[in-house]
Structure 1
Amino acid sequence: MGSSNFFDFWKKLCPFIVTAKPMTDLCWTCQLNNTLIFRSANLDEENKCERVKQQENHLFIVQQERSLYNKMVGNAKRACQENVITELCQNSPCSRNIMMHYSFDYAQQVHLPSNPLQPGPIYFLVPRKYGLFGVCCEGIPRQVNFLVDEAHLISKGSNAVISYLHYFLNNYGTGETDAHFHCDNCSGQKKNRFVLWYFAWRVAVGLHKSVSLNFLIAGHTKFAPDWCFGLLKRAFKRNLVPAQSVLETVVNESSSVNIAQVVGYEDGTTVVPVSDWQAFFKNSCKPLPGIKKYQHFRFDDAHPGSVFVKEHSESAETEFNILMSDSSFPRGAPDVLAPPGLPLQRQQYLYKSIRKYVDEPFKDTVCPNPDVMPNVEQDETVIITETRKDSDGHERVKRGRGKGSQRGQTGGGRRGCGRGHSRGRGQGENNGV
């Protein structure tokens, strides 16, 4: 029987058994509620209704948050049409009395060199890593994608997020007086006190008249950056990308909505500096209690130093003061953090294991020859890492120890397929584990 006939008979005889469609951003709350509903067949009507109502309430809140997001995006598009804003460029703060909406998020990192016809051995190796951080102006729409070489990756925490946002607003912002931001619920990167302090500081020093920071419900976070990242990744998979300069071209040509912004080059030159915003605010601001239970934060120049919070879009607002007593927001600019560069052990790994897969013109750029290359003992104890994704789609790293044989040290595949000699399995870091 041919495959088409088989599927036809399957649909006729077993229509109740279907193939699951591809799904992302799975909501854990939805899964728990649906499981309770499925298991309520033998329960009384009261319990059944209670479980169904619980899921309905959750979906109602999700729909409210999605409606608010769509409303803000629609208002931003009308503002761009009325003011003939078609491209992102540098504008003075508060130069336009309009409202604009932005969304920002991290994407899964990419590895260079990248070849659509992937050589078999490189599957088990760890090529040079590049992070992706996108800020989308949805009124136009355009997204600036920050390309972060691992030599310039100080962290993926609040210092990096704030620095990239600050650079974007200074160099690509539309000059709006009122800004709305949307992002996911990742507390380590975006939903923390430092990001709140930064937006409160922007309003206090006159860079905006009002700012709102809004978080989508965990598990229901599909928004504009995911669309732009999807176009970018599709082009990335179809092109030979040996170095960052080619990656920049691929991003710019992937779609009219994508713009590439290099954070730093392989030779150590920094374009987008990462500053120590945490130290900049720590002596003047205080944490917001219960920050994780709130989804909406608002700041305005009529109440400098205050943040208005709501648990959901239709909840009542509550005001909190985030300034310490007898203090004000700091003036000036924070100190710039020096990029970490590539450790010698990582340089050695790239030179020995990855260089042969790089095209000749880019060998010295992507995998330069380190000045000193010490011999690595085959039987030394090494750290083995395993990278997994949590419910928000962000990477979490687990660590363990194992005997690093020749195979274990050069293993550590891009998809968690490397193996240590005795135990542990993981992706590997600077030492190529």
Structure 2
Amino acid sequence: MNKFVESGLRVREPARFTMRKLLKLHCPTIRIRSPRSNVCDICAIYHAGIRGGVTADKTEELGRHTESARFMRREYKHDKTSWSSDHAVIVMDYSQNLTILSVSNTPSQWYFCSLFSVSCFGIYYENDGVQTNYIYDESTSGKGSDQINSMLAHFIETKLVPAGKTKLTVYADNCSGQNKNNYVIKFLLTLVDMGVFEHVDYKFFVKGHTKNSCDRGFGHIRKYMATAECWTMAHVIETVNAAASNSVTVHVPRGSELFKSYKSVMTELYKRLDGVQKYQIFSIDSAKPGVVACKKGPDSDAVEQDLRRKIDGILTAKEKVVRIMIDHVEVLPPPATNPEKREQMYKTIRPYVPDEFQNDTLGCQEEPRRTWNGSDSSDTEPYEKKKPAQKKRAAPSKKAADKPKKRKSPATTDAEEE
């Protein structure tokens, strides 16, 4: 085409559809991204305020927010390539909830029902590029700091400790109920006090700018599940495992001892860390036991806080931390089942499930009928109508009994009847 243009010949510009068709035919590896929108609420608020009138204060606030996000993104890219034989870099995040059931052609009735949710927690190991996905349903456990600490402890025990890692860098988003709270920070502090690691860095992306390595694996899972039919939990596990070749799936069934309760233990060992939400980086080093260095950004000054409790003038010792973490951490009990949801699943969802999977689908199993206890009269006859109690007439007073009754004359009676 360049030759025709240089020769001065008239060349008709190809249409966009034709160009895309030719690119797809001759360059199949090229992918054209669809337009993306900014998902940061703070940026949207700033832009909405600027539309009404641009001021220096609004522009500076937006600039500080985007600058901090850019600094943390630069820090993340640097840490992704700074792993070594003794330094582990991981990224952890929760995916959007999966569901049981999940089919390609969703019946319209399902949109008005609450299906069983399946949680997917991913830990991406930057050292080898493998993502570990922990899968469990809502009858097993919830999504909180205890679950985060339990799955993080399992990953460290099975992956990092055998590899001999002494330094750990963890990246997470800004969710205060799951990742960015005192309990997860105190758990990482116990790992240093117990001698599992010599140094731990816990870093957070700026809110709204949290794109990370786990999102790539979650995207493969959502794309694969959109075309798969998952009638049981086993189908969901197979689908998640087959979504990507560089992923490992760990299923946590109901009754498993993987989830443990850490909140009471963390509260007993350490004090509360003040101002968690205003910091982005938390550093813990074995040279300073019980001390957490907090920073608002990669280039800001660190503020140190000693979280060790002081009882009778004695600070929390490492021996106490080891003893309590080994002997006093209990298994987290599963949540109670929701009978109303199970009844809805049984009546509304079960007819759509194939016969061979009806007894394996969560919430669609047929439950034994309840037997009424004959000793309880209110249960044995729940629909029996009770006879209304007869009103007792009051006894006539002595004065009324002594007073003779007046008799009506026949004429008066006939007049009243008329």
TM-score range, shorter chain: 0.7 to 0.9
- 1:23 paired with 2:37, answer yes
Alignment deviations for residues 71-112 of structure 1 (CA, whole Å, 9 cap, x no partner) = 111112xx3xxxxxxxxxxxxxxxxx5111111111111111
Q: Quick one: which amino acid aligns to residue 130 of structure 2?
A: R
Q: Whole-Å Cα distance in 2 between the matches of residues 259 and 23 of structure 1?
A: 31
Deviation, 1:67, is: 0.6
Deviation, 1:355, is: 1.8
Aligned position for 1:40: 53
Alignment deviations for residues 328-387 of structure 1 (CA, whole Å, 9 cap, x no partner) = 323415100221253333333322222222233321121211224699xxxxxxxxxxxx
Q: Whole-Å Cα distance in 2 between the matches of residues 157 and 374 of structure 1?
A: 38
Please report the RMSD computed on the Cα atoms of aligned residues, expressed in angstroms.
2.5
- Distance change in 2, residues 1:118/1:374 (3 Å): farther
- 1:364 paired with 2:364, answer no
Deviation, 1:56, is: 2.4
Alignment deviations for residues 27-57 of structure 1 (CA, whole Å, 9 cap, x no partner) = 233223323433336xxxxx44x44333223
For the residue of structure 2 that corresponds to 1:170, the secondary structure is helix
Aligned position for 2:100: 112
For the residue of structure 1 that corresponds to 2:268, the secondary structure is coil
Aligned position for 1:53: 60
- Distance change in 2, residues 1:371/1:201 (3 Å): same
- Distance change in 2, residues 1:361/1:253 (3 Å): same
- 1:213 paired with 2:198, answer no
Whether the 8 Å CA contact 1:306–1:320 is kept in 2: the answer is yes
TM-score by length of 2: 0.74
- Picking from 187, 200, 219, the partner of 2:189 is 200
Whether the 8 Å CA contact 2:140–2:255 is kept in 1: the answer is no
Alignment length, in residue pairs? 330
For the residue of structure 1 that corresponds to 2:105, the secondary structure is coil
Q: Whole-Å Cα distance in 2 between the matches of residues 295 and 6 of structure 1?
A: 45
For the residue of structure 2 that corresponds to 1:54, the secondary structure is helix
Please give the residue correspondences for 1:355-394 in structure 2 after superposition, counting only pairs within 5 Å: 355-366=350-361, 367-372=364-369
For the residue of structure 2 that corresponds to 1:176, the secondary structure is coil
- Picking from 257, 266, 271, the partner of 1:286 is 271
Deviation, 1:232, is: 0.8
- 1:351 paired with 2:365, answer no
Q: Whole-Å Cα distance in 2 between the matches of residues 113 and 5 of structure 1?
A: 44
Alignment deviations for residues 230-265 of structure 1 (CA, whole Å, 9 cap, x no partner) = 11111011111111111111111111222211111x
Aligned position for 2:156: 169
Aligned position for 2:388: none
- Higher Cα Rg, which structure: 2
Q: Whole-Å Cα distance in 2 between the matches of residues 29 and 118 of structure 1?
A: 35
For the residue of structure 2 that corresponds to 1:108, the secondary structure is coil
Deviation, 1:133, is: 1.1
Deviates more, 1:229-238 or 1:332-341: 332-341
Q: Whole-Å Cα distance in 2 between the matches of residues 343 and 39 of structure 1?
A: 49
Whether the 8 Å CA contact 1:150–1:341 is kept in 2: the answer is no
For the residue of structure 2 that corresponds to 1:105, the secondary structure is strand
The structure that is strand-richer by fraction is 1
Q: Quick one: which amino acid aligns to residue 162 of structure 1?
A: N
- 1:314 paired with 2:299, answer yes
Identity %: 24
- Picking from 310, 320, 332, the partner of 2:326 is 332
Q: Quick one: which amino acid aligns to residue 175 of structure 2?
A: C
Q: Quick one: which amino acid aligns to residue 168 of structure 1?
A: F
Aligned position for 2:174: 185
Q: Quick one: which amino acid aligns to residue 184 of structure 2?
A: V
